[in-house]
Amino acid sequence: MSTQQTLPNPGLGTYRLEGDTVRRVIDTALKLGYRHIDTAQFYDNEADVGAAIAASEVPREEIFLTTKVWFDRLQPADLKASVDESLEKLGTEYVDLLLIHWPSPGDEVPMADYLTALSEVQQAGKTRHIGVSNFTRAQIDQAVDILGAGALLTNQIEVHPFLQNRDLVAHCKRHDIAVTAFMPLAVGKVMEDPTLQRIAEAHDATPAQVAIAWLNQLDIVTFPSSTKETNLRRNIEALDITLSDEEMAEIATLDRGERIANPEIAPDWDQ
């Protein structure tokens, strides 16, 4: 089954967007046809995201809404309380996808504890799907051992032309876990790459569109962030671009292991 049968593509990332800005961007995106919105407790914008969804003419049930539990709320009782807080801020009875934002640093909270709590939140009807983010191959194996095959919808990880994460992507797919990609444009660096510029020119497109099209052809859903209507529209139009095998192979050569999201709480990457 295609990832995109469950997760609408592209989504809208809301990291660093707050207040009137995030409300305006969500309103614009929904009018353009976006149906997937990605937020998190850490983004401190859940209330604004919820207000924008409530104000939209698009029915809630047509919107795929993701939020994430921050690493300091992973103790089971605290995790469940944090989800209730998120739902209240978002103004909804459920989210479509609830993720563990980062694995517990140094396994301070045992994975079995917080993943079991995550599953119990799902059983309570507060989220339709559950998943993880920033999990390594070893952590994915551990998570599957804890919850069983088919429990996790996705592992949300950093993927862009300069960090292609092929081993982890393949590992997730072997477990039938979809990969969703954050930072698909490498915080704008894709715009400066000569190879992507040349491929973009051949398609009368932008390098950002080429990066999104590349991910789409790898069956990876992504959610770039933008405050500009032109870019929001281009991100959707990128899905109409079909890259040749040669172009896909050229982009494959751009991988240089350039990890952008690597905070102190990050796990020991095993790829």
Q: What stretches of the chain adopt beta strand conformation (E)?
A: 12-13, 36-38, 64-69, 95-100, 127-133, 152-158, 178-182, 221-222
Consult the annotation and say whether 171 binds a ligand.
Answer: no
Structure tokens at 221: 């859903």
Q: What does R_g of the chain's alpha carbons equal in angstroms?
A: 18
* Euclidean distance between the first and the last CA atom of the chain, given in angstroms as a whole number: 26
Residues in the chain: 271
Q: If you write DSSP's letter for every residue of 122-154 in order, what string do you get?
A: HHTTSEEEEEEES--HHHHHHHHHHH-TT-EEE
- Of 210, 120, 211, 200, whose CA–CA distance to 160 is shortest? 211
Q: Which of 15, 34, 43, 94 is catalytic?
A: 43
Q: Is 94 a catalytic residue?
A: no
The CB-side HSE value for 142 (13 A sphere, CA atoms) comes to 15
- Location of structure tokens 């909270």: 109
Annotated binding-site residues read 101
Active-site amino acid positions:
43
Annotated binding-site residues for substrate read 101
